[in-house]
Amino acid sequence: MIHFVLLFSRQGKVRLTKWYSPYSQKERTKAIRELSGGILPRGPKLCNFVDWRGLKVVYKRYASLYFCMCIDSEDNELECLEIIHHYVQILDRYFGNVCELDLIFNFHKAYFILDEVLIAGELQESSKKSVARVIAAQDSMVDAAKEQMASLSNIIAQATR
Tell me if 138 contacts another protein by CB under 8 A.
yes
Closest Cα partner for 40 from 25, 61, 26? 61
Chain centre distance of CA 19? 11
Q: Does 46 bind another protein (CB under 8 A)?
A: yes
User: Would you count residue 130 as binding another protein (CB under 8 A)?
Assistant: yes
Residue 27 is a binding residue for another protein (CB under 8 A):
no
The single residue among 5, 57, 70, 83 that binds another protein, judged by CB under 8 A, is 83
**Phi and psi for 98 in degrees, rounded to 5?**
-65, 145
- Supply the angle between the helices 77-95 and 107-117 in degrees, to the nearest 10: 130
Side chain identity at 149, as an amino acid letter?
M
In the complex, the residues that contact another protein under the rule CB under 8 A are 1, 14, 16-17, 25, 29, 45-47, 49, 51, 76, 78-79, 81-83, 85-86, 94-95, 104-109, 111-112, 115, 119-120, 122-130, 134, 138-139, 141-142, 145-146, 149
